[in-house]
Protein backbone atom coordinates (compact mmCIF):
# COMPACT_ATOMS: atom_id res chain seq x y z
CA UNK A 1 0.00 0.00 0.00
CA UNK A 2 1.30 3.35 -0.97
CA UNK A 3 1.13 6.28 1.41
CA UNK A 4 0.64 9.61 -0.15
CA UNK A 5 2.59 12.52 1.30
CA UNK A 6 0.80 15.80 1.20
CA UNK A 7 3.25 18.64 0.82
CA UNK A 8 1.95 21.86 2.28
CA UNK A 9 3.42 25.13 1.08
CA UNK A 10 5.65 26.33 3.95
CA UNK A 11 5.04 30.08 4.01
CA UNK A 12 1.19 29.98 3.81
CA UNK A 13 1.14 27.21 6.44
CA UNK A 14 3.29 29.28 8.79
CA UNK A 15 1.12 32.34 8.22
CA UNK A 16 -2.00 30.32 8.95
CA UNK A 17 -0.35 28.95 12.09
CA UNK A 18 0.60 32.47 13.24
CA UNK A 19 -2.93 33.79 12.66
CA UNK A 20 -4.47 30.82 14.47
CA UNK A 21 -2.05 31.23 17.41
CA UNK A 22 -2.76 34.95 17.70
CA UNK A 23 -6.52 34.42 17.55
CA UNK A 24 -6.47 31.68 20.16
CA UNK A 25 -4.18 33.80 22.39
CA UNK A 26 -6.62 36.71 22.13
CA UNK A 27 -9.52 34.38 22.88
CA UNK A 28 -7.86 32.82 25.92
CA UNK A 29 -6.76 36.26 27.11
CA UNK A 30 -10.39 37.37 27.05
CA UNK A 31 -11.36 34.25 28.97
CA UNK A 32 -8.54 34.89 31.45
CA UNK A 33 -9.74 38.46 32.02
CA UNK A 34 -13.28 37.20 32.58
CA UNK A 35 -11.92 34.61 35.01
CA UNK A 36 -9.88 37.29 36.81
CA UNK A 37 -13.03 39.32 37.42
CA UNK A 38 -14.72 36.24 38.88
CA UNK A 39 -11.63 35.45 40.99
CA UNK A 40 -11.46 39.02 42.31
CA UNK A 41 -15.13 38.75 43.27
CA UNK A 42 -14.37 35.47 45.06
CA UNK A 43 -11.55 37.14 47.02
CA UNK A 44 -13.86 39.98 47.98
CA UNK A 45 -16.49 37.48 49.09
CA UNK A 46 -13.91 35.64 51.23
CA UNK A 47 -12.83 38.95 52.76
CA UNK A 48 -16.39 39.95 53.65
CA UNK A 49 -17.13 36.47 55.01
CA UNK A 50 -14.02 36.69 57.20
CA UNK A 51 -15.06 40.08 58.63
CA UNK A 52 -18.53 38.67 59.35
CA UNK A 53 -16.99 35.63 61.04
CA UNK A 54 -14.78 37.67 63.37
CA UNK A 55 -17.72 39.89 64.27
CA UNK A 56 -19.63 36.74 65.34
CA UNK A 57 -16.50 35.29 67.01
CA UNK A 58 -17.03 32.26 64.76
CA UNK A 59 -13.64 30.59 65.16
CA UNK A 60 -14.41 27.67 62.83
CA UNK A 61 -15.45 29.90 59.94
CA UNK A 62 -12.52 32.26 60.61
CA UNK A 63 -10.07 29.36 60.71
CA UNK A 64 -11.32 28.13 57.35
CA UNK A 65 -10.54 31.53 55.82
CA UNK A 66 -7.06 31.82 57.33
CA UNK A 67 -3.92 30.17 55.95
CA UNK A 68 -1.89 28.06 58.35
CA UNK A 69 1.11 30.36 57.81
CA UNK A 70 -0.88 33.47 58.73
CA UNK A 71 0.99 36.55 59.91
CA UNK A 72 -1.50 39.02 61.38
CA UNK A 73 -0.09 42.39 62.44
CA UNK A 74 -2.56 44.61 64.27
CA UNK A 75 -2.62 48.38 64.06
CA UNK A 76 -0.94 48.38 67.50
CA UNK A 77 2.10 46.75 65.86
CA UNK A 78 1.50 43.45 67.64
CA UNK A 79 1.82 40.44 65.32
CA UNK A 80 0.18 37.05 65.81
CA UNK A 81 0.20 33.68 64.09
CA UNK A 82 -2.99 31.76 63.28
CA UNK A 83 -3.09 29.81 66.57
CA UNK A 84 -2.66 32.92 68.73
CA UNK A 85 -5.15 34.91 66.68
CA UNK A 86 -7.82 32.21 67.04
CA UNK A 87 -7.03 31.69 70.72
CA UNK A 88 -7.67 35.39 71.39
CA UNK A 89 -11.06 34.91 69.72
CA UNK A 90 -12.11 31.66 71.41
CA UNK A 91 -10.95 32.77 74.87
CA UNK A 92 -12.92 36.00 74.52
CA UNK A 93 -9.82 38.08 75.23
CA UNK A 94 -10.54 39.93 72.00
CA UNK A 95 -14.13 40.55 70.98
CA UNK A 96 -15.06 42.55 67.91
CA UNK A 97 -18.29 44.37 68.68
CA UNK A 98 -18.42 45.78 65.15
CA UNK A 99 -16.15 45.58 62.15
CA UNK A 100 -17.42 47.68 59.25
CA UNK A 101 -15.13 47.25 56.24
CA UNK A 102 -14.93 49.04 52.92
CA UNK A 103 -13.02 46.78 50.58
CA UNK A 104 -11.09 49.07 48.24
CA UNK A 105 -9.07 47.24 45.64
CA UNK A 106 -8.39 43.60 44.85
CA UNK A 107 -5.35 42.87 42.67
CA UNK A 108 -4.46 39.42 41.42
CA UNK A 109 -0.96 38.00 40.90
CA UNK A 110 -1.59 34.43 39.84
CA UNK A 111 -2.54 32.47 42.96
CA UNK A 112 -1.99 35.54 45.15
CA UNK A 113 -4.48 38.34 45.75
CA UNK A 114 -3.66 41.67 47.33
CA UNK A 115 -6.53 43.49 49.00
CA UNK A 116 -6.59 46.97 50.48
CA UNK A 117 -9.35 48.85 52.19
CA UNK A 118 -10.50 50.68 55.27
CA UNK A 119 -12.60 49.69 58.26
CA UNK A 120 -14.30 51.09 61.32
CA UNK A 121 -13.44 48.90 64.28
CA UNK A 122 -15.12 48.54 67.65
CA UNK A 123 -13.20 46.02 69.70
CA UNK A 124 -12.85 44.99 73.32
CA UNK A 125 -9.43 43.59 74.18
CA UNK A 126 -8.79 42.29 77.71
CA UNK A 127 -11.91 44.18 78.83
CA UNK A 128 -10.75 47.47 77.30
CA UNK A 129 -13.13 48.88 74.65
CA UNK A 130 -11.66 50.76 71.69
CA UNK A 131 -13.11 52.40 68.59
CA UNK A 132 -10.95 53.49 65.70
CA UNK A 133 -10.63 53.57 61.91
CA UNK A 134 -7.93 51.72 60.03
CA UNK A 135 -6.40 51.38 56.61
CA UNK A 136 -5.46 47.78 55.90
CA UNK A 137 -3.64 45.60 53.40
CA UNK A 138 -3.98 41.84 53.30
CA UNK A 139 -2.79 39.00 51.12
CA UNK A 140 -4.80 35.95 50.13
CA UNK A 141 -3.44 32.75 48.58
CA UNK A 142 -5.37 30.17 46.59
CA UNK A 143 -4.87 26.88 48.44
CA UNK A 144 -7.00 23.75 48.75
CA UNK A 145 -9.43 25.24 46.24
CA UNK A 146 -10.25 28.29 48.33
CA UNK A 147 -8.88 31.74 49.11
CA UNK A 148 -7.09 31.91 52.45
CA UNK A 149 -5.69 35.02 54.09
CA UNK A 150 -1.97 34.68 54.74
CA UNK A 151 -0.97 38.25 55.75
CA UNK A 152 -2.70 41.20 57.33
CA UNK A 153 -1.43 44.56 58.50
CA UNK A 154 -3.32 47.67 59.42
CA UNK A 155 -2.66 51.22 60.52
CA UNK A 156 -4.90 53.55 62.44
CA UNK A 157 -5.79 56.81 60.75
CA UNK A 158 -4.10 59.70 62.47
CA UNK A 159 -7.29 61.80 62.37
CA UNK A 160 -9.33 59.07 64.02
CA UNK A 161 -7.64 58.28 67.31
CA UNK A 162 -8.85 55.54 69.61
CA UNK A 163 -11.70 56.71 71.83
Partner 1 sequence: MRTLFLLLFVSLPLFALASPRGDEASARSALLARFDAALHADVGALEKLLADDLEYCGVSATCSTKAQYLESIRSGTRKFRSLEPKIERVRLFADSAVLSGKVYAVSIGDGTERNVNAYFLVVLAWRDGRWQMTNQSSTLLEPKPTP
Measured distance CA(65)–CA(140) in Å, rounded: 9
Within 61-120, the residues that bind partner 1 by CB under 8 A are 69, 71, 73-75, 77, 79, 105, 107, 109-112, 114, 116
Question: Which residue, 48 or 78, is less far from partner 1 as judged by CB?
Answer: 78
Do strands 66-73 and 146-156 pair parallel, antiparallel, or not at all (unpaired)? parallel
Evaluate whether 54 touches 70 at the Cβ level (below 8 Å): no
Q: How far is the CB of 110 from partner 1 (least distance, A)?
A: 4
Question: Which residue, 19 or 56, is less far from partner 1 as judged by CB?
Answer: 19
Asked if 155 touches partner 1 (CB under 8 A), the answer is yes
Evaluate whether 123 touches 134 at the Cβ level (below 8 Å): no
Question: Could you tell me which stretch among 47-55, 86-94, 121-129, 147-155 binds partner 1 (CB under 8 A)?
Answer: 147-155
* Residue 33 CA: distances (Å) to CA of 3, 27, 82, 102: 46, 10, 33, 24
Asked if 145 touches partner 1 (CB under 8 A), the answer is no
Measured distance CA(94)–CA(72) in Å, rounded: 14
Q: Report the interface residues with partner 1, using CB under 8 A.
A: 10, 14, 17, 69, 71, 73-75, 77, 79, 105, 107, 109-112, 114, 116, 134-135, 137, 139, 141, 150-151, 153-158
Amino acid sequence: MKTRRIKLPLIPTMLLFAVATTMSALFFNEVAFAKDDARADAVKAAEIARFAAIEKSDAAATSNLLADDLEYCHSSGMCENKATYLEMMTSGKRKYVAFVPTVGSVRLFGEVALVSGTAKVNVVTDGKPQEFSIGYTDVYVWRNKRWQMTSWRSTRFADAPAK
